Amino acid sequence: MGFHNMSTAMKQRVRTRGEPPLVVGAVDHRNLISLALAMEKATPDVSEALLAELDRARVVPQDKVPPKTVRMGSSVVFRTNGAGERRVTLVLPGEADIDAGRISVMTPIGAALIGLSTGQSIQWRARDGREQELTIVEVDPSGEIS
């Protein structure tokens, strides 16, 4: 299902699930839409999820994205289902390296992270189908959380 062909029912479902508001910079927004559309055949579920998140995001000039908001290149500390914390950097697919803590925005968790801010939580579906709750603990847009 393409971004421009997303059904009204899908858009309605996305907007009524009680998800937190998202903020995405205009440059990231444009680039991520292009990426999701290009990856649609290879990863349709993740492409659709990312496009849905981008569709509901408030788009602002790139330099106006609040500092504690997850954007491309951000380092993020988060908890899943209230468990221990995990630290990752959100990257493009070609830069991903799970061992180095760099996760692709074209993964279910990567698509869930984009646009969230410190303290926000979101429900997302892992690749194994389990519902997860992810809570943002800390964000560093420079990718420098130690």
Q: Which residues of the chain have pLDDT under 70?
A: 1-18, 144-146
Can you give the residue range of the structural domain that contains 66? 3-11+20-140
Residues 6+ apart with CB under 8 A from 130: none
Q: Is residue 145 part of a domain?
A: no
Specify the pLDDT at position 123: 86
Burial state string for 84-120 with b = 16 or more CB within 10 A and e = fewer than 16: eeeebbbbbbeebeeeeebbbbbbbbbbbbbbbbbeb
Whole-model pTM over 0.75: yes
Task: Give the C-alpha separation, 71 to 59, whole Å.
Answer: 12
Specify the pLDDT at position 52: 93
**Total domains in the fold of the chain:** 1
Q: Is residue 133 part of a domain?
A: yes
Specify the pLDDT at position 146: 52
CATH number of the domain that residue 52 is part of = 3.10.50.30
Q: Is residue 67 part of a domain?
A: yes
Specify the pLDDT at position 16: 35
